[in-house]
Amino acid sequence: MVENNRCVIKLFNAFPLLFSGLLVIIISCTPEEQEFIKPIPIASVAAEITTSGFKATWMPLLGARSYILEVASNETFNKESIIQELTTEIQDTFLTVENLKVAQFYYYRVQARLSTGESTDYSNIIEVSTLGMPHPIALTAKEVGASKFTACWKPVKEAKTYKVEVATDIDFSTSLSLQQLVTTDTFIIVKNGLKVDQDYFYRVVAKDEDIESEFSNVIHLTTTQLTQPAITRVSDISKSGFSLQWNTITGATNYNLDIGTDPLFVDSSAYIIQNEVVGEPAFIADGLLANTVYYCRVRANSIHSFSECSEVTIIKTLTLDGTVALPASEIQRNGFKANWQKVASADSYLLEVATDEHFTDYVDSYDPIPAEDTSSWISGLQQNTVYFYRVSIQSSGSQSSPSNIIQLTTTLLSSPKAYAAKNISNNGFTAVWSKVSEAEVYSLEIASNPDFREPTTIDGISDTTYDVQNLIGNQTYYYRVRAEESSNYSTYSNAISQQVIALGKPSNLAASNVTYTSFRASWDIVEEAKYYTVDVATNDQFTDILTNYQETAVNSTSIEVAGLEVSTTYYIRIKAWDDHSPSEYSEILTIVTASVEAPTALQPTEISAYEIRARWMQVSQASEYLLDIATDNAFTSIMPEYESVSVETAYFLAYNLQPATTYYYRVRSIVNSDTSLYSNVISVTTKNNSTIKIPGLIEAEKIAEKKGGNRISSASSSGQYYLGSIGNTDWVEYELDIYTNTTFTVELQVASVNGGGTINIIHNEIIIGSVLVTDTDGGENWATVATDVSLPSGIQNIQFEFISGAGALLNIDWIYIHD
């Protein structure tokens, strides 16, 4: 069709069902203008849809080299919704999409890559829904009993869990009887609330989170109605067995019998008989243990079901005849002989030995003793200890009750006697005691208190003496000893007290070489001392000891104490040490470090109308000085720029002062971080301001008033100084005596490293001339610039203003004004 005299080309697939791939082109245009519409692919309906995927399809596009497929969870195809984007090129017109969710909507579209290298727009969007969850197939119930059954079904591959509904009606409409159970298996035991001889129905749903299948087929079953049996008679009870009888149950084909020692039948190891199949309602149990409680129950069985278990019947076998324990004999420190009466029916005897009469703390376990023996030797015991024993007989696998209990006490090893110590020194002594004939070794205890709290113990001593070392001098110690034989110990001997000789304390403590921050301490040598420890504190109670001088060890009789505060009182004390213990502290020595000396202020050597050079005597070890300049001798009017000025030398040039004015200065010195008192006060009066006659030469630093700039000393300048560090908008002013009213030439010797600037010459706030200063490549690389100005005669104040960028612009050595 023709629109607005343009040529429109429309491409579409003609008759797609008949001619796959046929492209029909209709062209309608005018000669004036033509338009080409780019083709796009057409997405087709998905095929082969499953629970987790589908086959995406689309129509072939003429000229397409390949395709790109996008799959998303919504129609917007935004970044968050795209779940599968195939960036590799697809040659076919279909692709199978997998690993999707069950019963979910998905969307796909296609983009074609043309043989020209271009990409088309996306195709139309196709909506697809994966298939739902398949329903399971319920199977016939298993293990149907009077009050339970097992529901079963075939697995569903897509399911994660199963929901089972159980009801008493086939329509599952009775809410009171409906049960809903959830499991991950393909079976579940249903037992809560079921009745005997009752019809039940169950069906199953497969689930994956919120997705559920339809219900399975319904399974019907009926619980059994066998009557619960009851044990009616127990007879023929003996030491090793008994007989059981129970009532006959109609419909029962046989019975299951359980006999055990666990009343709850939970412990599998406690079963004597478990699920024993019995054809008749009677059973004879034998081979049991005497004097033992047994628990019995029985259950009836039919071809299809079984009854509930009977009530539990409790039976105790008869007791074996016991023996009589007799008093012990041959009692020693580590053993005794246990005795008892002989019993003819005994196969063997069981002996029990304990340290308590309730036999909760057994000494050891002993093998059965042959029937012909009526005694047994017990060894490995502790001396001076109470023991108990009793005996039981064993016969035909059974055991009698224990006999009466016999009590005895083992004997005690003799104690040694401690004697007075020998070889007493400042760090030890030799302990001495008597010999015990039965002893193998001795154990020695040493303590600093008579109660022997927290003692030091030395075991395994084979002699009757021991050298005790590493003790602290001038202290009392206590020792005692006991004998040992195998695992037997005697009581401790008497205690011996012994005082160790004291080590002498340091004396004649003295200080020398006292400075601002240090001193040297020395003392007399102490005999037998191996080293000394030093404490330095700021109080005589030594509660504030210096960190670097707290029990500081030295091997000589002197120490250099450094890093102290100026004019501060310190206290020092010394201990002497041998290898093991210290002496008492020495007497305390008090030392005061030197005070910071105040400087002596001197008369200035240079005085002008605007400057003075203050000076003073140097102070030893001073790192800096603090200078004050005031207009009164009480220093209540200190000049702000000259209050506590930090100076590292013994002089200072003060400028920007007023002519014919009296000033006062004083100075303090600083050593380390400590400041001295003020020096004496010096008064000085600046000279009267003198005018400069013109024509004539002006030294630039000799100014009447200024803003900014500093006087800088330099050998390269004409007057040994120049005016430097001049910044933007700084100015200087000179008082000139001009002899006549005429035009003068103004020459300036200047230097600049930051690009220079402009100098304005001002009289009565009017710029009367300007001169440009260029960069001279050096702060003292001087150049002369000049300009002409008209000046009136008489006394005139002429100002020079400096204008340019940031930083120090230029330096000026002199100004020469002439006609």
pLDDT of residue 660: 85
Over residues 466-477, the mean pLDDT reads 89
Over residues 326-349, the mean pLDDT reads 91
More confident of the two residues 81 and 552: 552
What phi, psi does 719 have (nearest 5°)?
Answer: -115, 25
The string of DSSP letters for 626-648 reads EEEEESSTT-SSB-GGGSSEEES
pLDDT of residue 35: 55
pLDDT of residue 18: 31
Asked if residue 86 has pLDDT above 60, the reply is: no
Q: Give the residue extent of every domain in the chain.
A: 38-129, 138-222, 231-316, 325-400, 418-499, 510-592, 601-685, 692-818
Q: Are 794 and 756 in contact (CB under 8 A)?
A: no
pLDDT of residue 26: 40
Domain 231-316 in CATH 1.10.645.10? The answer is: no
pLDDT of residue 632: 95
**Three-class SS of residue 149?**
strand
**Per-residue buried b or exposed e for 266-277, using 16+ beta carbons within 10 Å of the residue's own CB:** eeeebebeeeee
Over residues 277-304, the mean pLDDT reads 91
The tokens of 312 are what? 């539990």
**Integer Cα distance of 130 and 142 in angstroms:** 36
**Integer Cα distance of 395 and 257 in angstroms:** 27
List all residues 6 or more positions away from 214 whose beta carbon is below 8 Å from its beta carbon. Answer: 135, 205
Q: Which single residue is written with the structure tokens 């007399």?
A: 524
Of 321, 450, 443, 336, which Cα lies nearest the Cα of 382? 336
Of 505, 524, 550, 588, which Cα lies nearest the Cα of 561? 550
Over residues 693-705, the mean pLDDT reads 79
User: At the top level of CATH, which class does the domain 510-592 belong to?
Assistant: mainly beta
Q: In terms of pTM, does the model score above 0.75?
A: no
**Integer Cα distance of 296 and 229 in angstroms:** 12
Asked if residue 29 has pLDDT above 80, the reply is: no
**Integer Cα distance of 689 and 471 in angstroms:** 88
Over residues 142-152, the mean pLDDT reads 87
**Integer Cα distance of 698 and 761 in angstroms:** 14
List all residues 6 or more positions away from 351 whose beta carbon is below 8 Å from its beta carbon. Answer: 338, 366, 369, 376, 378, 389, 390, 391
For the stretch 357-379, pLDDT in tens is 999 999 987 788 898 899 999 99
Q: Are 314 and 297 in contact (CB under 8 A)?
A: no
pLDDT of residue 223: 85
The tokens of 152 are what? 């079963």
For the stretch 386-428, pLDDT in tens is 999 999 998 877 888 899 999 999 988 889 999 999 998 888 8
For the stretch 192-221, pLDDT in tens is 888 777 889 999 999 988 888 889 999 999
Q: Which single residue is written with the structure tokens 């200065």?
A: 665
Residue 337 CA to chain centroid, in angstroms? 63
Name residue 399's amino acid. Answer: Q
**Three-class SS of residue 452?**
coil
List all residues 6 or more positions away from 669 whose beta carbon is below 8 Å from its beta carbon. Answer: 596, 597, 598, 599, 619, 622, 624, 625, 675, 676
Q: From residue 801, give the alpha-carbon distance in Å to each of 693, 732, 750, 763.
A: 21, 7, 14, 11
Q: Are 535 and 565 in contact (CB under 8 A)?
A: no
Q: Flag the least confident range among 226-240, 632-646, 797-811.
A: 797-811
More confident of the two residues 303 and 58: 58
pLDDT of residue 304: 64
Q: Are 589 and 509 in contact (CB under 8 A)?
A: yes
Q: Are 544 and 537 in contact (CB under 8 A)?
A: yes
Asked if residue 1 has pLDDT above 50, the reply is: no
List all residues 6 or more positions away from 530 whose beta carbon is below 8 Å from its beta carbon. Answer: 577, 578, 579
Sheet holding 313-316, edge to edge: 271-278, 254-260, 293-301, 313-316
224 — pLDDT class (breaks 50, 70, 90):
confident
**Three-class SS of residue 215?**
coil
Report the residue count for the chain.
819
User: At the top level of CATH, which class does the domain 692-818 belong to?
Assistant: mainly beta
Q: Flag the least confident range among 388-397, 644-653, 685-694, 791-800.
A: 685-694
pLDDT of residue 808: 66
**Quick one: three-class SS letters along 700-740?**
CCCCCEEECCEEEECCCCCCCEEEEEEECCCEEEEEEEECC
**Three-class SS of residue 547?**
helix
Query: Which CATH fold would you assign to the domain 138-222?
Result: Immunoglobulin-like (2.60.40)
**Integer Cα distance of 578 and 469 in angstroms:** 12
CATH of 418-499, one of 3.30.750.200, 3.30.70.260, 3.30.450.20, 2.60.40.10: 2.60.40.10
Q: Are 738 and 796 in contact (CB under 8 A)?
A: yes
Tell me which architecture the domain covering 38-129 has in CATH. Answer: Sandwich (2.60)
**Integer Cα distance of 359 and 570 in angstroms:** 72
Q: Are 471 and 478 in contact (CB under 8 A)?
A: no
**Three-class SS of residue 269?**
helix
More confident of the two residues 716 and 434: 434
For the stretch 479-513, pLDDT in tens is 999 999 887 888 999 999 998 888 889 999 999 99
pLDDT of residue 243: 96
pLDDT of residue 158: 86
pLDDT of residue 442: 96
Name residue 804's amino acid. Answer: S
**Quick one: three-class SS letters along 362-428?**
ECCCCCCEECCCCEEEECCCCCCCEEEEEEEEEECCEECCCCCCEEEECCCCCCCCEEEEECCCCCC
Name residue 710's amino acid. Answer: N
pLDDT of residue 11: 39
For the stretch 722-738, pLDDT in tens is 888 888 888 888 888 88
List all residues 6 or more positions away from 689 whose beta carbon is below 8 Å from its beta carbon. Answer: 609, 610, 659, 660, 704, 735
List all residues 6 or more positions away from 158 whose beta carbon is below 8 Å from its beta carbon. Answer: 51, 52, 102, 133, 134, 206, 208
Asked if residue 477 has pLDDT above 90, the reply is: yes
**Integer Cα distance of 100 and 83 in angstroms:** 9
For the stretch 656-682, pLDDT in tens is 788 889 999 999 999 888 888 899 999
pLDDT of residue 204: 96
**Integer Cα distance of 114 and 40 in angstroms:** 10
Q: Flag the least confident range among 370-374, 548-552, 808-812.
A: 808-812
**Integer Cα distance of 70 and 79 in angstroms:** 11
**Integer Cα distance of 381 and 384 in angstroms:** 9
**Integer Cα distance of 391 and 342 in angstroms:** 11
Asked if residue 155 has pLDDT above 80, the reply is: yes
**Integer Cα distance of 67 and 130 in angstroms:** 23
Name residue 599's amino acid. Answer: P
**Which H or E element spans position 746?**
strand 742-751
Asked if residue 689 has pLDDT above 90, the reply is: no
Over residues 765-773, the mean pLDDT reads 92
List all residues 6 or more positions away from 455 whose beta carbon is below 8 Å from its beta carbon. Answer: 445, 446, 447
**Which H or E element spans position 590?**
strand 589-592
33 — pLDDT class (breaks 50, 70, 90):
very low
For the stretch 594-622, pLDDT in tens is 888 899 999 998 887 778 999 999 998 89
pLDDT mean across residues, the chain: 87
Same fold flag, 38-129 and 418-499: yes
pLDDT of residue 27: 40
Query: Which CATH fold would you assign to the domain 601-685?
Result: Immunoglobulin-like (2.60.40)
pLDDT of residue 8: 39
Over residues 782-791, the mean pLDDT reads 93
Report the CATH number of the 325-400 domain: 2.60.40.10
Q: Are 310 and 230 in contact (CB under 8 A)?
A: yes
Asked if residue 14 has pLDDT above 70, the reply is: no
The tokens of 787 are what? 């300009």
pLDDT of residue 306: 83
Cis peptide before 60 (omega within 30 of 0): no
Q: From residue 404, give the alpha-carbon distance in Å to each of 375, 407, 651.
A: 15, 10, 113
The Cβ of residue 411 has, within 10 Å, a number of other Cβ atoms equal to 13
676 DSSP 8-state letter: -
**Integer Cα distance of 188 and 164 in angstroms:** 8
Q: Are 266 and 277 in contact (CB under 8 A)?
A: no
